[in-house]
A = this chain, B = another copy of it.
Amino acid sequence: MQSSEILKRIPLFNGLTEQQLLDLAEIISERSFKKGENIFAEGDEGVGFYILAEGQVKIYKLSVEGKEQILHIFGPGEPFAEAAVFTGRSFPAYADAMQNSRAFFIPRQAFVDLIKSNPSLAMNMLGALSMRLKKFAGMIEALSLKEVPGRLASHLLLLSDQEGVNEFPLNISKSQLASLLGTIPETLSRIFNKLNGNGYIESNGPRIKIIDREGLEALASGEEKLS
């Protein structure tokens, strides 16, 4: 299979036109790694990123005792190290081939030059990533609306009990709270709006006032669902 064919299947590049895929294919080179071979080390300069074509690669950190902590295992079709390379940082972890592997290497400088002469390539990538992010945010919302309102209700009741009052400030930012509850800030905002609109609470910036304690308890226990 031609490398432009393989590139086309990668979500990172699926906003690109045929011509842009061919331009991209011009700057990539193929690299092969034997099973167990190191690909890059933590702290190495992020000179380029990889797309795995065949085999399996593990990304790991080493503890001070030298113990390996695997962060991720990548398979064919998956890019790795691209986020570090885009932002011009050094590699944040080690990468080793777990099987005999073949990968495409995309050098950072050539990629920057390509964007400079052809900014629509970057625009199309930004467009595809933005759409994918929106789709993912929608899925997280659909998945987390089932359980997060109950977890948020428990959290608010807990804060109220700790403080011994009905009205209190949130003690962490909404984005930290979203992480804590297993969702994203956008979905958390929507849940707060619903709790407000349905008369469970009144919230004003970070200040929360509990209006319907029994209702929140029913949400927290799962007896009631937020609609």
Contacts from A to B (Cβ < 8 Å): 12, 15, 75, 78, 82-88, 111-113, 115-116, 119-120, 122-134, 136-137, 139-140, 142-144, 182-184, 186, 189
Contacts and interface: CB of A to CB of B under 8 A. Distances in A.
Contact of A133 (B87, B111, B133, B143): B133
A29 to B, nearest CB: 20
Contact of A115 (B15, B82, B122, B129): B122
A134 to B, nearest CB: 7
A109 to B, nearest CB: 10
A91 to B, nearest CB: 13
A44 B113 CA distance: 32
Nearest to A111: B123
A122 B121 CA distance: 10
Contact of A83 (B78, B84, B127, B182): B127
B119 A122 contact: yes
Nearest to A9: B175
Query: Which of A12, A88, A133 has the most B CB atoms < 10 Å from its CB?
Result: A133
Contact of A143 (B82, B134, B140): B140
Contacts of A112: 119-120, 123
Contact of A139 (B87, B140, B189): B140
B184 A139 contact: yes
The oligomer's copy count stands at 2
Given A86-B124, A133-B133, A136-B137, 8 more contacts: A78-B186, A87-B124, A111-B123, A115-B122, A116-B116, A122-B122, A129-B133, A132-B133
A122 B126 contact: yes
**A112, A115, A182: most-surrounded residue (chain B CB, <10 A):** A115
A120 B137 CA distance: 26
Contacts of A78: 186
A211 to B, nearest CB: 22
B15 A127 contact: no
B130 A189 contact: no
Contacts of A115: 115, 119, 122-123
Contact of A131 (B12, B75, B83, B127): B83
Contacts of A82: 126-127, 130
